[in-house]
Amino acid sequence: MVTEPDESDLRTLEERARDARRPRADEGDGLVVCDNLVRVYRTEEVEVQALQGLDLVVEEGECVALVGASGSGKSTLLSILSGLDLPTAGRARVAGHDLLTMGRRERLGYRRQTVGFVWQQTGRNLLPYLTALENVALPMKYTRVPRRVRASRAAELLDVLGVTHCRDRRPAELSGGEQQRVAVAVATANEPRVLLADEPTGELDTASGEDVFAALRRANEELGATVLVVTHDPLVSGQVRRTVRIRDGRTSTETLRGPGGTVTEEYTVLDRAGRLQLPRDYVDRYGLHGRVRLTAEPDHVGVWPDGSDRRDGAGDADGEQW
């Protein structure tokens, strides 16, 4: 028997069709692109430059850890990418949405469908009077997913993220780690292209933190979300392929890891003025400080401690080749 789709089914289908027609300006240019991003907080007495010309490109499908000292601007960046905060200047584009110019309606749709968010504070992610299943189903109500689809997708997400046993419990009846895994399910309910997490394991013990990180990885690998996770947890940053370090409101160095977590490549960002920051352990390892000597080689630049007499540019333990 063929049944007629009801009105809400049709609305959902129309919305999906409209969404599919929207230009994908991001394609081929990074799913997340920040270009010279600036965020200045002004209060009556002080002005804080939280982001000072940050550049970042994240490709679709990546799982990236953002690390950096307290106050370096990590949460500010995530707030901007989540559509909650507006940059002061620069360019920020996520999945074809220009975060500086988008209007109220587009911003609402962006926050409901394009990005998902997991906060550090477990209590901030879930509504206390709803069960885990109801919490996960709720965001789909706002995007007008039909009721029966909401329930089955919520159950499926709880299953993928390993928290099926929590489905009929309220947040107060869950451990911190279980709450955060349910929070990942809530954040991925509307199939966002980008999942943002601000220290999601910060309040947890090591074992629960690993479970939550495994949930984020599943969201990345099995549900297809591109993941950006702010973390102070070396266990998390040691397990992702790419770690981006933020220093004084700018991206400074990047580490790429191969299978098994071994570091395969280190990068640094050359800013518009031609300045670059060397990774701290390189500076220490090669005793670089103050003035350093540069050698121009056919295909790279050598950086040597001042006073070293090496001039041929061949790699040895006294300098660093770039």
Of 113 and 180, the one with the shorter C-beta distance to ligand ATP is 180
Q: Tell the residue number behind the tokens 């990047």, with chain if given.
A: 254
List the one residue from 73, 90, 200, 305 that touches ligand ATP (CB under 6 A): 73
Please tell me whether residue 255 binds ligand ATP under the rule CB under 6 A: no
302 lies in the site for ligand ATP, by CB under 6 A: no
Cα separation, 284 vs 286, in Å, equals: 6
Out of 10, 25, 48, 301, the only residue in the binding site for ligand ATP (CB under 6 A) is 48
Report whether 247 contacts 77 (CB < 8 A).
no
Which of 70, 101, 206, 262 touches ligand ATP by CB under 6 A?
Answer: 70
Q: What is the DSSP letter of 259?
A: G
Q: Which stretch binds ligand ATP (CB under 6 A): 73-81, 178-186, 271-279, 294-302?
A: 73-81
For position 76 contacting ligand ATP by CB under 6 A, the verdict is yes
Binding test (CB under 6 A) with ligand ATP, winner from 68, 109, 177, 319: 68
Question: Of 46 and 317, which has the nearer Cβ to ligand ATP?
Answer: 46
Neighbouring CB atoms inside 10 A of 231's CB total 25
State yes or no: residue 226 binds ligand ATP (CB under 6 A). Answer: no
Q: How many helices (H) and strands (E) does the chain have?
A: 10, 14
Place of tokens 């280190």: 266
Measured from the Cβ of residue 119, the count of other Cβ atoms closer than 10 Å reads 20
Biggest alpha carbon distance in the chain?
A: 85
Residue 188 interacts with ligand ATP (CB under 6 A)?
no
Contacts (Cβ under 8 Å, ≥6 apart) of 148: none
CB of 128 to ligand ATP, least distance (A): 24
Tokens of 304: 């040597």
**Does 262 interact with ligand ATP (rule: CB under 6 A)?**
no
Interface residues toward ligand ATP, by CB under 6 A: 41, 48, 50, 68, 70-76
